[in-house]
């Protein structure tokens, strides 16, 4: 349900990046950690339904799922967590830290090389 909120933040980021470069965005890659509490399909839907009203027409949003990767502080082992057991798969230590898997980020944006015509204007009217 909070995917709609997060989609707005993502669209804002894309708009900021686009207007600071004066370029038209074409494709956006979004990294979605498996522990980010975000359902990629729901986020994708939320982005598609809100993009136009935020002034982003014809932009493709691609979800890149990120597995949960842990680092063991005791033995240095790096491993992926597939279920809910976060203990070190090497030495069973629980002194572990998450390296990736809870991110929700605009990773990359592909821009058209030709500047976009409306680059001088505000990309959208804020509708609150």
Q: Which residues of the shown chain bind other proteins in the complex (CB under 8 A)?
A: 1-2, 5-6, 9-10, 13, 17, 21, 23, 26, 30, 35-37, 83-87, 93-96, 98, 102-113
**Smallest Cα–Cα separation from 63: which of 1, 22, 105, 25?**
105
Give the span between the Cα atoms of 78 and 100, in whole angstroms.
11
Asked if 80 interacts with Zn ion (CB under 5 A), we say no
What's the sign of the alpha-carbon dihedral 82, 97, 85, 42? negative
Q: Which does 97 bind (CB under 5 to 8 A by kind): other proteins, Zn ion, none?
A: none
Q: Which does 37 bind (CB under 5 to 8 A by kind): other proteins, Zn ion, none?
A: other proteins
């Amino acid at each position: 349900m909070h995917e709609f909120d997060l989609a707005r933040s993502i669209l804002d980021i894309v708009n900021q990046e686009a207007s600071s470069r004066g370029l038209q965005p074409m494709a956006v890659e979004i990294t979605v950690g498996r522990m980010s509490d975000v359902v990629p399909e729901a986020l994708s839907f939320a982005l598609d339904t809100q993009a136009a009203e935020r002034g982003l027409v014809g932009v493709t949003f691609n979800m890149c799922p990120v597995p949960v990767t842990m680092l063991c502080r005791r033995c240095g082992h790096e491993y992926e967590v597939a279920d809910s057991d976060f203990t070190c798969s090497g030495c069973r230590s629980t002194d572990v830290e998450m390296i990736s898997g809870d991110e929700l980020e605009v990773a990359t944006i592909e821009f058209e090389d030709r500047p976009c015509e409306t680059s001088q204007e505000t990309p959208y009217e804020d509708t609150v």
